[in-house]
Amino acid sequence: MDPRLLILDVDTGIDDAMALLYAVASPDARLLVATCAPGNASLEAVVRNTRGVLDIAGATGVEVIAGAREPLVKPLVTTPETHGPTGLGYAVLPAPTVPLTMPAAGAANAAAARIVAEVRAHPGRVTIVGCAPATNIAAAFRLDPELPALVGSVVLMSGAVATAGNTGARSEWNAWCDPEALNEVIRACATAGRPVLILPLDATESALIRPPHWAALTAAAGLPGAARGANLPPVLRLVDEALRFYDEFHLEYDKIEGSHIHDAFSVAVALDETLAHIVAAPAVVEVRDGATRGDLLVDVRGRTGTAANARVALRGEGERFLQRFAERVGALSTRVTG
């Protein structure tokens, strides 16, 4: 089967880095381009991180395109407490060589333009995976209103349905950061008859990477028993150093051992929907400022009588994904180091 054509829209970010590694490592995917949105970190930091991760992954032909500098309406807020001051935890990146398009401040959104160009070049075949606030994807749909009908699918890591929020009491970060963009993307895709697939925390938190998965990863990389912090090849070093910060964050804030790699799980579901339990339902995001900003309201039981406008994953098969993550990223590590 032909590999799936992917655009990853990222705000790299620790779990975005894991998503990029997984996409590059996956034989059933071809990463066309990585587009950058602000969110976890500023646009400049996201661009630097994304290029660095792709360099380490050996994906030096994948272009990185900078997009919006701010969410559609709200001012930008970043998350150094979650992803560290650079956005990539304790990871130290090489000087980037991956090609970059970085328009001047105030110029048009080049990421949106590139999303339009890629989808139009491969009508019906491109899967856009939104690992970031949906700002760039909404901008692409504003630029080309026919695009939602031409895209293969849109998969968005966003929101929390029945589980607690990770930003507000009920809100998830990507949805909270740019709720207006998320609503626009949901609406545009529904109108085009191609509802988005939403991966909320209810599904992505099943992807909790812990010590047994590190053991599986090092074994797949041909280094069975290699310890965290040891002298590791570049891909494993990136995973180790980035996740060490994320592990500390999860321990401090969520009182759990390990890290939720939401975005990597979302790429995996985009490639294989059997990793999630998906229902069709009406979904809308609260845009008003205040305690409920960014809350994703999904009428799972159909109580409102509103027509379904999205597909929503209510559970995930995180363990099955993590085995696959270990196999694929471990194999990538051996390919890159030769």
Interacting residues toward ligand BDR by CB under 6 A: 13, 15-16, 40, 79, 82, 131, 157, 166, 172-174, 262-263
**Which residue is it, tokens 């609503």?**
183
Answer yes or no whether residue 14 interacts with Ca ion by CB under 5 A. no
**Which residue is it, tokens 């790429």?**
267
Cβ of residue 53: shortest distance to Ca ion, in angstroms? Answer: 12
Nearer to Ca ion, 220 or 260 (CB): 260
Cβ of residue 304: shortest distance to ligand BDR, in angstroms? Answer: 26
Cβ of residue 259: shortest distance to Ca ion, in angstroms? Answer: 13
Sequence-distant (≥ 6) Cβ neighbours of residue 230 within 8 angstroms:
none
Helices (H), 173-317: 173-177, 179-191, 201-204, 211-220, 234-254, 262-271
Cβ of residue 302: shortest distance to ligand BDR, in angstroms? Answer: 26
User: 250: closest CA among 12, 9, 37, 14?
Assistant: 14
The answer to whether the beta carbons of residues 204 and 262 sit under 8 Å apart is yes
The answer to whether the beta carbons of residues 285 and 297 sit under 8 Å apart is yes
Answer yes or no whether residue 267 interacts with Ca ion by CB under 5 A. no
Size of interface with Ca ion, in residues (CB under 5 A)? 5
Task: Work out what residue 166 binds among Ca ion, ligand BDR, none; the CB cut-off runs from 5 to 8 Å by kind.
Answer: ligand BDR
Answer yes or no whether residue 9 interacts with Ca ion by CB under 5 A. no
Sequence-distant (≥ 6) Cβ neighbours of residue 152 within 8 angstroms:
4, 5, 124, 125, 126, 127
Nearer to ligand BDR, 173 or 325 (CB): 173
The answer to whether the beta carbons of residues 269 and 203 sit under 8 Å apart is yes
Contact letters for Ca ion, residues 278-297 (x by CB under 5 A) = --------------------
Nearer to ligand BDR, 79 or 86 (CB): 79
Sequence-distant (≥ 6) Cβ neighbours of residue 107 within 8 angstroms:
none
Q: Pick from 9, 16, 202, 240: which binds Ca ion (CB under 5 A)?
A: 16
Beta bridge partners, 276, equal 316
Helices (H), the chain: 14-25, 43-56, 80-83, 110-121, 135-143, 147-150, 173-177, 179-191, 201-204, 211-220, 234-254, 262-271, 318-337
Q: Pick from 131, 208, 264, 332: which binds Ca ion (CB under 5 A)?
A: 131
Cβ of residue 173: shortest distance to Ca ion, in angstroms? Answer: 8
**Which residue is it, tokens 């992917």?**
6
Cβ of residue 12: shortest distance to Ca ion, in angstroms? Answer: 7
Task: Work out what residue 325 binds among ligand BDR, Ca ion, none; the CB cut-off runs from 5 to 8 Å by kind.
Answer: none
Nearer to Ca ion, 137 or 216 (CB): 137
Cβ of residue 227: shortest distance to ligand BDR, in angstroms? Answer: 26
Answer yes or no whether residue 84 interacts with Ca ion by CB under 5 A. no
By the criterion CB under 5 A, which residues form the site for Ca ion?
11, 13, 16, 131, 263
